[in-house]
Amino acid sequence: MNWKKLGLSPRLCLACKSLGYDFPTEIQEKTIPSILKGETVAGIAKTGSGKTAAFALPILSELESNPRGVYSLVLTPTRELAFQIKDSFSALGEWMGLRITLVTGGMSIDEQCRAIMHRPHIVIATPGRLSHLLIDPEISNAFKRVEVVVLDEADVLMETGSGFQEQIINIFSHLPSKEIEVSSTDDKSGETSTKRVKTFKTHMFTATISPQLKLQIETLVQHRGLKFFSLVEGDMELVSSLTHTYVLISDPAIKPVILHELLTKKLSLQHIIVFTSTRETCHLVGQTLVELGLEDVSCLHGLMSQKERMESIKRFKARQSRILVCTDVAGRGLDIPTVEVVINFDIPLNSATYIHRVGRTARRGQTGLSISFVGRADVELVKTIETDVKSQMKEFRVNLEEVLKSVGRILGVWEGVTARRGQTGLSISFVGRADVELVKTIETDVKSQMKEFRVNLEEVLKSVGRILGVWEGVYVKMDDDGTRDKMKMIKKRKHVEKMKRKKGRKGH
């Protein structure tokens, strides 16, 4: 099937082809005609299958014939995905003069409010920031003409306990609705009541479906006429062009060593994403790789500013960085077709996250490779993932002899980076009476006072004889190259200086 048969205008068809989308994907074939007919749609399809264009093209089609704002609201869980969706709309509708506003954290609230007040055609938002802005009645009023809402990565947005559900309920309360009369269930009374129902369409798209979302979709299909298109077997599925593998890790401490071995030997040319479980580990991995000489490395995690995060993505997309070390902020929706390998430095805790992570490669029919570092404690988790995705991981062999050659050097760098990374630390200074003025100067310069570190003197005195005996024994055994004589001279000079100070105090 071609784009024209889906019901798109000639200009939109041309825009698709100019971006290299020669033919619609299966999820686009299924959903676009239904959305154009005004039906509400839920689409479940594998990563990299073109879900963004599946909802973007019908929205653009409506705006092409009747531009108005705010016509559509797209909600998504992460800032990075919001930026990427905006890029997709801008590319497909470049010729239309679209006004698109991003509403996410990490950006100026005042600028976002001003942009909304100008009634853009499309608003793309993360739920937290938009929910906050809707407190303002003028901002809320700007959304009273919304006709289409899209929940992208719907399984996350609708997940209980994620915090998104409450925010979305609040957002929906500010969107257009109307009162309708409802007949009483008691036929004898003949009474009617009114209830408020939404007047906008809500489409949902995701690559994985949670049991909770599945139940909601089934209810909407039964009672609201939702059109449900699922192109995955079961709840989740890998793309066929992906080879997913594992490296068995005997000791978690050597993961940085194996990663360095892969990035510099077997995968020295590939475009690679490395996923970690925490922001701290992300920083440690990235900084360690840089200090080991891999300069084409970027990081992406929640402790970075929005400007830094977007700069990292920009550099990676342009291949100015060959390696992107990140947390799961990049696990959903990040569409960079040149990514050839995904490495799970830390195995994800559930199958859905695994699907989305490895889905950053093997996109649009291209081949891809994923490698997961698996420790003994991860074996059961891996078995669960394999069962859920209906595919077993193959072993990715690593030359352990080569790894062991560099283990000392790499772990030394890793430990150095760890020590500098905001870890708690303790310094203890031995201060004699003669050092008091010096300590005061140091405290003034560093703008911080030293605290006393208490020592149990009774315990110290119990071992004083033994330890000083060893100390003096080491002193006596010092070599005969004059060092011992120098030590005696120093000791004698200190004694003389001490006597002078005592004499001076008596004179006063």
Least confident segment among 107-121, 375-389, 475-489: 475-489
Choice between 33 and 1, residue whose per-residue pLDDT is larger: 33
Residue 222 and residue 42 in contact, taking contact as beta carbons nearer than 8 Å = no
pLDDT at 47 over 70: yes
Tell me, what's the pLDDT at 495? 58
How far is it, in rounded angstroms, from Cα 334 to Cα 357?
9
B/e letters for 153-162, b = 16+ CB within 10 Å, e = fewer, are bbbbbbbeee
Each residue of 434-446: pLDDT tens digit? 878 877 877 776 6
Please enumerate in sequence order all residues whose Cβ is within 8 A of that of 447, keeping only pairs 6 or more positions apart, or say none: none
5 closest CA partner among 26, 27, 32: 32
Residue 223 is classified by DSSP as H
For residue 144, with 0-12 CB atoms within 10 Å meaning exposed, 13-18 middle and 19 or more buried, which class applies? exposed
Tell me, what's the pLDDT at 424? 58
pLDDT at 355 over 90: yes
Cα of 313 vs its chain's centroid, Å = 12
Beta strands 192-198 and 177-183: pairing type? antiparallel
Residue 372's φ and ψ, nearest 5 degrees, are: -110, 130
429 closest CA partner among 420, 418, 441: 441
Residue 39: which pLDDT band, with cuts at 50, 70 and 90?
A: very high
Residue 98 and residue 77 in contact, taking contact as beta carbons nearer than 8 Å = no
How far is it, in rounded angstroms, from Cα 415 to Cα 392?
34
How far is it, in rounded angstroms, from Cα 113 to Cα 105?
13
Least confident segment among 52-61, 171-180, 346-355, 385-394: 171-180
Each residue of 454-468: pLDDT tens digit? 888 777 777 777 777
pTM assigned to the model: 0.75
CA distances in angstroms from 209 to 43, 204, 239, 294, 295, listed in the order given = 10, 11, 16, 38, 39
Fold entry, domain 242-420? Rossmann fold (3.40.50)
Tell me, what's the pLDDT at 74? 98
pLDDT at 346 over 70: yes
How far is it, in rounded angstroms, from Cα 268 to Cα 264?
5
Residue 370: which pLDDT band, with cuts at 50, 70 and 90?
A: very high
The first and second tokens of residue 115, run together, are: 């942009």
Q: What's the average model confidence in pLDDT over 343-354? A: 94
Q: What's the average model confidence in pLDDT over 328-334? A: 83
The first and second tokens of residue 102, run together, are: 């991003």
Residue 479: which pLDDT band, with cuts at 50, 70 and 90?
A: very low
| Residue that the structure tokens 């900084």 belong to | 287
**Percentage of residues of the chain with pLDDT beyond 90:** 59
Least confident segment among 262-271, 320-329, 393-402, 493-502: 493-502
259 closest CA partner among 287, 238, 237, 227: 287
pLDDT at 426 over 70: no
Q: Which CATH architecture has domain 4-184+193-230?
A: 3-Layer(aba) Sandwich (3.40)
pLDDT at 395 over 90: yes
Least confident segment among 2-11, 205-214, 438-447: 438-447
Choice between 421 and 128, residue whose per-residue pLDDT is larger: 128
Choice between 61 and 182, residue whose per-residue pLDDT is larger: 61
Least confident segment among 226-230, 246-250, 407-411, 463-467: 463-467
Each residue of 158-203: pLDDT tens digit? 887 778 999 999 999 999 987 676 665 555 556 666 777 788 999 9
Tell me, what's the pLDDT at 438? 78
Tell me, what's the pLDDT at 212? 80
**Percentage of residues of the chain with pLDDT beyond 70:** 87
Amino acid at position 108, single letter: S
Tell me, what's the pLDDT at 211? 80
How far is it, in rounded angstroms, from Cα 255 to Cα 249?
7
Residue 478: which pLDDT band, with cuts at 50, 70 and 90?
A: very low
Query: Which residues in the chain are classed under CATH 3.40.50.300?
Result: 4-184+193-230, 242-420
How far is it, in rounded angstroms, from Cα 323 to Cα 441?
46
CA atoms within 13 A on the CB side of 352: 16
Q: What's the average model confidence in pLDDT over 12-36? A: 94
What kind and span of H or E run contains 215?
helix 211-224
Supply the mean pLDDT for the chain: 87
Each residue of 99-120: pLDDT tens digit? 999 999 989 999 999 999 999 9
Residue 265 is classified by DSSP as I
Tell me, what's the pLDDT at 482? 45
Residue 325 and residue 281 in contact, taking contact as beta carbons nearer than 8 Å = no
How far is it, in rounded angstroms, from Cα 256 to Cα 270?
18
Cα of 380 vs its chain's centroid, Å = 25
How far is it, in rounded angstroms, from Cα 316 to Cα 339?
9
Residue 247 and residue 372 in contact, taking contact as beta carbons nearer than 8 Å = yes
139 closest CA partner among 116, 173, 170, 105: 116
Residue 233: which pLDDT band, with cuts at 50, 70 and 90?
A: confident
Choice between 491 and 305, residue whose per-residue pLDDT is larger: 305
